[in-house]
Structure formats: C-alpha cells, structure tokens
Amino acid sequence: MITYDEDIERIPYEKTPISIKEQVQKLKSRGLIIDDEELAAQYLSNISYYRLRAYTYPFQNNVDPDKHHEFIRKDIHFMGIIDLYCFDRRLRILVFNALEKIEVALRAKITQRYSEATNDSHWYQDESLFKDDAYMKDGQKVFKYNTLMEDIEDEVDRSDEEFIKHYYFRYSEPEMPPSWMALEVVSFGSLSRLYDLLVKDDQKKAVAKELGLNKVDILENWMHALSNLHNCCAHHSRIWNRRFIVNMLLPTNADYPFLDRNTIATTKRNKLFAYLCCIKYILDIVSPDNNFYPNLQGLIAQGGSLLSLKDMGFPDNWRSLGIWKS
C-alpha cells in the first residue's frame, strides 16, 4: 500500500468525469494549440487524457494554483505532444527488445555457471549458496531467501510452458524442476533478487566477469535497475523524462569501453541515458551484431520538435563517448 505524509492535509476527491469534447476544450483553455479538434478528440479517445498528461506536464505551470496547469510556452501544439508520446512508445519497444536479450543471456550465464560448479541440477535450492539477509515484518524476522523461493515456486506453478508440464508428468521428485527449467520461467525481478542474494563467491564474480565487470555490486545494481525498467516497458509506462527509483552504478574499470571518469561524474544516474549506456554495454557483449545504436539514432531523429535529450540525461557530446563511438 502506498504511504503518505501525515503532516499534509488530505481532502476528499470530488472531481467529476468530463467528456472527450470537454477534455479538448480544457486543453485549449490552458494554452495548448489544437488545429484540428476532431483529430484531437480521436487521439484522446484512444490514448486517454490522463496518460497524455505525462507528456504535457513539463510544458505546464504546475506550481502556481492561480494559473492551474497553463502552458508556459505559447507555441506548444497538440500534435507536438502526440509526436513526443509516439517517440516514447517506440523507445519503449526498442528498450524492451534489448532487455529481452539481456535477460535471456543473464539467465543462461547464471544457470550454466552454478550448475557446472556445484554439479547440482537444483543448486538454487541449496541455502548455503545464499546470504542470510532478513527483514522485519509484523515483528517477525523474514529471511529473503525463503521469500525468494516462495516466489519462484509460485512462478513455476503459474507457468504453462510445456517443459514444466513435462517435468511434472515424467518425474516424481524433486518437487521443483531443475534450475535450467525453473529459472527460465521466473521474472527478471526474481532473477535479479536471486543473483543479489547469492554469496559473493568465485561463481558470482565469474558471472560478472563474463560481462567485463570487475565488481559483483555493479551487476547486482544493473539487474535491479534494468528489471525495474523492464517493468516500466511491460506496463507501457513513460520512460522519456523519467526519474527512475534506482540509481545506476557506473563502472570506472570495466573491461570494455564504457564512459570516461569525467562523464561518469556528471551523469545523472537516475535518468534514462545512464540506463541506455548500461544496456548498450551488455548488449554489445551478448549480441555483438545488434542494431540498438542506429535504431536509437533513428528514433531520436524522428522524435519531433519538443524532444529534448537533456530531459533524459543525455550530454551534448554523447555520440563521441566511449561506448557510443562504434
């Protein structure tokens, strides 16, 4: 449940629904230029006023109650907002496709490394491989490993993959499938938590090293951050101009080209540019022939008049920085 500041006075919500036509007129009254009201109504009926609000917000006065969301700039057109919305949608598709490749590669590397090292098909159920981290809930200590295993079991139970069905049809025990089956059907978030909870041993370091990362903390952070970005993309949430809840750790000693120290020091780590740098870094390793960069450049070129790369944390010289030079 979402918490709130008890010192802030809360009031009942009393706003009433308004028609699509009224939504168009409200936007016009606030200073948005609408050249074709019928076309605007069509867009609003398919996108929704509230979803589009995330794209008008940066151009509106959201502080002064007397000006109630008036557009600060007087040259903002409705179709410019639509261009920005479409850019964000296409960007999500590009990022989601890249994250799929990264997620699949991480599953394969973690599973293979630990399966071979332990010679145990069910190594993920070996509690000795995991840290004994815990948190308090309702006055009781809850171990993160136990919670993770419960979630993995639930995800396996919900799976309708044929290989999971075959396991239960063919084998009587163990109760759970081997790691190369079970970890194929868990979420990116669960995979991230699993890697995070593994003790910092040679195997965990080796997985990070396969990606040219010399600290497991970096890969732990990247998996956490990218799993959250994955959720944003999967739920069609805005990623343009978003401040993400996880700050990216940016390595200064990666084995492959990344960013120079001066750029790292000035990069906003909760903005999309930092995330895109990490995505491209991993993608160039696990999918060397990827076309992520040219596709990103193409999207930016067609982003529309309102697109500002600074809103996503891009520096002016980003194309000349180490990882983006190729």
| Model pLDDT for residues 254-308, shown as the tens digit of each residue | 999 999 999 999 999 999 999 999 999 999 999 999 999 999 999 999 999 999 9
How many angstroms from the chain centroid is the CA of residue 251? 19
Model pTM?
0.92
Q: How confident is the model at residue 60 (pLDDT cuts 50, 70, 90)?
A: very high
Predicted pLDDT of residue 229: 98
Predicted pLDDT of residue 42: 97
pLDDT tops 90 at residue 182: yes
Nearest to 296 by CA among 159, 106, 94, 114: 94
Q: How confident is the model at residue 4 (pLDDT cuts 50, 70, 90)?
A: low
pLDDT tops 90 at residue 8: no
Q: What is the mean pLDDT of residues 309-321?
A: 95
Phi, psi torsion values for 121, nearest 5 degrees: -65, -25
| Model pLDDT for residues 77-106, shown as the tens digit of each residue | 999 999 999 999 999 999 999 999 999 999
Rounded Cα gap, residues 172 and 181, in angstroms: 15
Residue 286: strand, helix, or coil: helix
Half-sphere exposure of 27 (CA within 13 A, CB side): 28
pLDDT tops 80 at residue 3: no
Q: What is the mean pLDDT of residues 24-45?
A: 96
Predicted pLDDT of residue 1: 52
Rounded Cα gap, residues 322 and 257, in angstroms: 5
